[in-house]
Amino acid sequence: MNCFGSRPFTRLCGRGCFLTPSTKPSSHVRFRFRFPPSGRRNLSVHPVAGSIGAEIRDVDLALLPENPGWVRQLREAFLQHQVIFFRNQNLEPQAFLTFASHFGEPVEYPFVKGIEGFPEIIRVLKQEHETVNFGGIWHSDTSYQQTPPLGSVLLGKETPPYGGDTLFANQYAAYDSLSDGLKETLAGLRGVSTSAKADASKTREDRIRDSGNPTAPAESFEAVHPVVRTHPETGKKALYVNVAHTARFEGWTEGESAPLLSFLFHHQVKPEFTCRFSWEVGSIAFWDNRCVQHNPINDYHGFRRSMLRITLAGDTPR
Ligand SMILES: O=C(O)CCC(=O)C(=O)O
């Protein structure tokens, strides 16, 4: 990279590096290269829908370690837009893990073992002959754990020629748009999440068969969380039930819970709360599991789709 210029004032080169005139006398002004103070170059953040999601453009994530200021900007974009997207980031597993580690602590996924050498990276795969896709239902990741993830990062490795998009839904907006009366009712409720609901557990079966995590317990996971959680970083309230894992309200039977849960399950994924991401090889989605649900669309039968996923440790929902 040549960062020398010929004009006698500080300016930015094409890559965001600062160029300043050398103090040495010279027949022509020489520029010294120095890195911009961290994060000086503003990353380019483009919302993709009215409610949720933004694409970060013109950034090479492999350069993140040299640009610590980008991490702060990305974190801000993540908290504001709830899911952030990148294109053309052909990261190898170690670089992918390094990227994700800037935003949290990578942890193992309970049911599927990691790829060779990387226990915290799982392959989210649907093969040509398979009919069910991993996680193919609206859900919040592993809400059946006592401390569900902060978020997950997904990297596209092989994508079908069409289809296989992922939908994301804003759970702050879902909560905010409820009536005051229902908000008051929900404030006193806790939801029981289980890993055993059939519509969700069947989406894991193919992967458990070929890459099951030997440390997974034989019995199902169960956890009780507030139906409305307060995001630990933004302080905003988000609806925190999901059709994949929430079985009932604590102290209520499944039958008693069903009508209100059914209303919430439909309400929380209304199109106006969502965005849709179309994958390419090298695309990344990083979602905030504390205020977002997602749903990968299973519309590419006969084609292979392969992603790498890293899960980041979260806290106890409050
Ligand atoms: O394949 C996708 O787009 C998302 C998969 C999924 O639901 C998950 O990793 O939780």
* Residue recorded with tokens 């069947």: 202
Distance CA 311, CA 148 (A): 10
| Nearest CA owner, ligand 1 atom 7 | 135
Residue 13 pLDDT:
34
- Decide if 9 is inside a domain: no
Residue 207 in contact with ligand 1 by CB distance below 6 A:
no
- Decide if 28 is inside a domain: no
Centroid of ligand 1 to alpha carbon of 295 (angstroms): 7
Residue 134 in contact with ligand 1 by CB distance below 6 A:
yes
Centroid of ligand 1 to alpha carbon of 6 (angstroms): 50
Residue 294 in contact with ligand 1 by CB distance below 6 A:
yes
Q: Are strands 284-288 and 246-249 parallel, antiparallel or unpaired?
A: unpaired
Mutate to test the pocket of ligand 1, among 121, 122, 124, 288 (most ligand atoms within 8 A of CB): 124
- Decide if 26 is inside a domain: no
Residue 160 in contact with ligand 1 by CB distance below 6 A:
no
Q: Give me the phi and psi of 121, to 5 degrees please.
A: -110, 115
Q: Helix, strand, coil: what percent of the chain each, to 5?
A: 25, 30, 50
Start-to-end CA span in the chain (Å): 49
What value does the CA radius of gyration of the chain take, rounded to a whole number of Å?
Answer: 22
- Decide if 264 is inside a domain: yes
Q: Which residues are catalytic?
A: 139, 141, 294, 309
Residue 9 pLDDT:
29
CATH of the domain at 301: 3.60.130.10
- Decide if 275 is inside a domain: yes
Residue 200 pLDDT:
83
Residue 40 pLDDT:
59
The tally of domains found in the chain comes to: 1
Q: Which of 226, 222, 204 is nearest to 213 (CA)?
A: 204
Distance CA 138, CA 244 (A): 6
191 - beta bridge partners?
A: 225, 249
Centroid of ligand 1 to alpha carbon of 309 (angstroms): 8
Residue 204 in contact with ligand 1 by CB distance below 6 A:
no
Residue 166 pLDDT:
98
Residue 211 pLDDT:
83
pTM of the model: 0.86
Residue 16 pLDDT:
34
- Decide if 32 is inside a domain: no
Mutate to test the pocket of ligand 1, among 286, 307, 308, 312 (most ligand atoms within 8 A of CB): 307
- Decide if 59 is inside a domain: yes
- Decide if 14 is inside a domain: no
Mutate to test the pocket of ligand 1, among 109, 112, 134, 308 (most ligand atoms within 8 A of CB): 134
Range of the domain at 297: 44-312
SS (H, E, C) 250-315: CCCCHHHHHHHHHHHHHHCCCHHHEEEECCCCCCEEEEECCCEEEEECCCCCCCCEEEEEEEECCC
The residue ranges of the chain whose pLDDT is under 70 are: 1-40, 218
Centroid of ligand 1 to alpha carbon of 299 (angstroms): 14
Centroid of ligand 1 to alpha carbon of 282 (angstroms): 16
